[in-house]
Amino acid sequence: MSAHRTPSFPSRLPNVGTTIFTVMSALATKHQAINLGQGFPDFPCDRHLIAKVNDAMLADHNQYPPMIGVADLRNGVQKKIQNLYGHHYDPESEITITAGGTQGILTTILACVSPGDEVIIIEPAYDSYRPSIELAGGKTIAVSLEAVRDINGQVASYNIPWDALQKAINPKTRLLIINTPHNPTGMVWQKSDLDQLANIVRNTSTLILSDEVYEHMVYDGAKHHSVASHPELAARSFLISSFGKTYHVTGWKVGYVAAPASLTAEFRKVHQFNVFTVNTPMQYGLASYLSNASHYLNLPAFYQAKRDFFRAGLEKTKFKLLPTPGTYFQCVDYSALKIPEAKLPEAEFCKWLTTEVGVAAIPVSAFYENTTESGVIRFCFAKQEQTLSSALQRLQPL
């Protein structure tokens, strides 16, 4: 009996393989390492939030919600943005609930990028940007953050590459993607940065995708400067955020996109055929929970305590700590460690750290298309204190 042959077809993403996050998490599991690589909490969410979702299920909110999202949740998002950033989005025509931030990113790109359009990203960049642009038929134009080095040649911080950004914009530029607070470096854009961005896009047709999923993780008394707080930018921007990141429920995959009505109309054309809508009881539960602003207003202090605890422990090592004004990631330069492995490329160093030291991290080079080695790796500190303590015990001999 002859075997049936499966037809082949050209890959839409020929250069995409297994992500570094999956690789490192699998390696951590295999070697029983403490996983500070992938960015998710290892502590439970608020039981009151679960109770509100349960209440919604028992109230029979279990059928399709409106395609654009439950009205109570959209209204809650509108109030939050208005209170924090002073900008009014119409919840009926300008706010859409999405199946997480990543779906919001993909749908935004598919909605406004046509074959041949150029999209500017700033590397190191979240790994979904480039494949999403490819699926839309767009061309990715990458500019890199400027690494500031100390007298020993170690990376000390990053600057926004304004000259390179300005030179990259041309009549083919459809979209520019920004991310603040920034994954993986933890840097945070300032109001002056938004002003500068407005200056370089003012006389262009360039749209902005502002990935702000870590908006409630800004520390040391500083504030998050959203594109929503800048009227000129808000008029040309898609603002993306995530309930999963904010409320420690990354597995729920619920987020939102806010944009002017004309942009939202195009976004929803794709959204309705992409996922159509989002988990109903989760939306009702989140709407009720969101009405208490303390749940997100207290988040900076919650995560700053974890950041400070983790940094204090890392100070006892030879790692050079980069600033972490935002996100729940801590980047370190390992090039000064007094061990032979300090000469390894970032990916190999992370594999060694996982298998031999028992702590998983992510190489920052993985956030570039063409591996850019800077001797910097990323740890996630969205963990229980005991998890961080155990990881520090393993890292401190370094």
* DSSP string computed for 32-82: T-EE-SS---SSPPPHHHHHHHHHHHHTT--S---TT--HHHHHHHHHHHH
pLDDT at 151: 81
Look up residue 160 and give its DSSP letter.
-
On whether both 289 and 303 belong to a single domain, the answer is no
Report if residue 275 sits inside a domain. Answer: yes
State how many domains the chain has: 2
Q: Which residues contact 219 (CB under 8 A, 6 or more apart)?
A: 300, 303, 304, 307, 324, 325, 326
On whether both 320 and 284 belong to a single domain, the answer is no
Report if residue 238 sits inside a domain. Answer: yes
On whether both 154 and 302 belong to a single domain, the answer is no
pLDDT at 106: 98
Domain stop point among 269, 293, 317: 293
pLDDT at 157: 85
Q: Would you call 206 helix, strand, or coil by DSSP?
A: coil
On whether both 198 and 118 belong to a single domain, the answer is yes
On whether both 271 and 252 belong to a single domain, the answer is yes
Domain stop point among 236, 264, 293: 293
Report if residue 2 sits inside a domain. Answer: no
pLDDT at 254: 98
Which ranges of the chain have pLDDT less than 70? 1-2
Instruction: Give the separation between CA 347 and CA 353, rounded to whole angstroms.
Output: 10
pLDDT at 1: 53
Domain stop point among 293, 325, 342: 293
Structure tokens at 208: 């902005």
On whether both 154 and 282 belong to a single domain, the answer is yes
Where in 229-375 does DSSP place strands (E)?
237-242, 255-258, 320-321, 329-333, 359-360, 362-363
Which domain does 160 fall in, by range?
63-293
Report if residue 6 sits inside a domain. Answer: no
On whether both 283 and 318 belong to a single domain, the answer is no
On whether both 247 and 289 belong to a single domain, the answer is yes
On whether both 165 and 304 belong to a single domain, the answer is no
Q: Which residues contact 143 (CB under 8 A, 6 or more apart)?
A: 120, 121, 122, 123, 161, 164, 165, 168
Look up residue 2 and give its DSSP letter.
P
Residue 371's CATH number: 3.90.1150.10
pLDDT at 105: 98
On whether both 229 and 336 belong to a single domain, the answer is no
On whether both 255 and 333 belong to a single domain, the answer is no
On whether both 87 and 191 belong to a single domain, the answer is yes
Report if residue 14 sits inside a domain. Answer: no
